[in-house]
Amino acid sequence: MKIAFIGGGVMGEAIIKGILDQGVARPQDTTVSDIDRERLFALGQDYGIRTSADNRQAIEGAEIVVLAIKPQNLKQVMADLQGQAKEQLFLSIVAGASMATISAGLEHNLVVRAMPNTPAQIGEGITVWTASNEVSQGQKGMARSILGALGKEIYVSDEKYIDIATAVSGSGPAYIFLVIEALVDAAVHIGWPRETAGELVFETVLGAARLVQATGKQPAELRKMVTSPGGTTEEALLQLEEGGLRDLIDRAVVAAYEKAKILGGK
Ligand X SMILES: NC(=O)c1ccc[n+]([C@@H]2O[C@H](COP(=O)([O-])OP(=O)(O)OC[C@H]3O[C@@H](n4cnc5c(N)ncnc54)[C@H](OP(=O)(O)O)[C@@H]3O)[C@@H](O)[C@H]2O)c1
Q: Which residues bind ligand X (CB under 6 A)?
A: 6-12, 33-36, 39, 55, 68-71, 73, 76-77, 93-95, 115-118, 170
On whether the CB atoms of residues 202 and 180 are closer than 8 A, the answer is yes
CB closer to ligand X out of 20 and 222: 20
- Would you say the C-alpha torsion 32, 38, 39, 44 has a positive or negative sign? positive
CB closer to ligand X out of 71 and 207: 71
CB closer to ligand X out of 73 and 109: 73
Q: CA–CA separation, 131 vs 109, rounded Å? A: 10
- Which has the closest alpha carbon to 162: 150, 154, 173? 154
In angstroms, what is the minimal distance from the CB of 68 to ligand X? 5
CB closer to ligand X out of 33 and 187: 33
The CA R_g of the chain, rounded to the nearest whole Å, is 21
On whether the CB atoms of residues 80 and 55 are closer than 8 A, the answer is yes
In angstroms, what is the minimal distance from the CB of 168 to ligand X? 12
In angstroms, what is the minimal distance from the CB of 85 to ligand X? 15
In angstroms, what is the minimal distance from the CB of 179 to ligand X? 17
- For 189, half-sphere exposure in the C-beta direction (CA atoms, 13 angstrom radius) is 6
